[in-house]
Amino acid sequence: MLLRLQDVTKTYPGAEAPVLRGISFDLDAGGMLALTGESGSGKSTLLHLIGGLDTADHGLVEVDDTDLTPLNDSGRAALRRGAVGVIFQQFNLIPSLTVAANIAFQARLAGRHDRARDRILAQRLGLEDHLHKYPEQLSGGQQQRVAIARTLSPQPKLVLADEPTGNLDEATADTVLTLLRDLVAETGAGLILVTHSERLATRLPRRLHLRAGQLA
């Protein structure tokens, strides 16, 4: 089992009600699911807990047999460098680095940079002619492809994608999601896709829906 959540709750300071209320589910290695729900339902919060970007108040969050609860900030950062890769709606590329350097960035931090793998990713994602460019010279769809390549370069076991196509038009979103899904499948990694799009959610084999902090 790649991911296990048991009775996970989260309340932000000053909030009147928990944002997550007793969330439990599992994900096997290679499993893919779409996480849907209205704005404010807790989707991004849940993804942040799984990725170690935030901590749960109660319950178990276990990734690749590692319990995230006792980890400090550096321990959770090490998890993101190794087992977990995160793709955000905002591309978060480093503007002073070329496309090639952006792709290699995460893998270099993890100590697992492989130039040959980066070349393959660039080719598969249609970036081979843009490696010398800087993010500002790319379209939104191209920047998101760079973000995907950067996340996949260190070969994480679990990929978390938080509205990765939210800034893209429908046709580009479909292309980017297809590339992401296929590349993740080839590595055997798991994928959790947060999306508000019913259309995109149907592209993955499993779906969970959040409503008011609970799985509906």
User: 172: burial class by Cβ within 10 Å (0-12, 13-18, 19+)?
Assistant: middle
CA-to-CA distance for 81 and 155, rounded, in angstroms?
A: 10
pLDDT over 90 (residue 158): yes
pLDDT at 111 > cutoff 90: yes
**What is the secondary structure of the chain as a DSSP string?**
--EEEEEEEE--TT-SS-SEEEEEEEE-TT-EEEEEE-TTSSHHHHHHHHTTSS--SEEEEEETTEESTT--HHHHHHHHHHTEEEE-SS----TTS-HHHHHHHHHHHHT---HHHHHHHHHHTT-TTSTTS-GGGS-HHHHHHHHHHHHHTT--SEEEEESTTTTS-HHHHHHHHHHHHHHHHHHT-EEEEE-S-HHHHTTSSEEEEEETTEE-
CATH (domain of 88): 3.40.50.300
d(CA 92, CA 95): 9
Q: At residue 48, does pLDDT exceed 90?
A: yes
Residue pLDDT, tens place only, 63-87: 999 999 899 999 999 888 889 999 9
Q: Where are the alpha helices (DSSP H) in 27-133?
A: 43-50, 73-82, 99-110, 115-124
Is residue 16 scored above 90 in pLDDT?
no
pTM greater than 0.85 (yes/no):
yes
Instruction: Please state the domain count of the chain.
Output: 1
Domain that holds residue 204: 3-215
The predicted pLDDT at position 89 comes to: 86
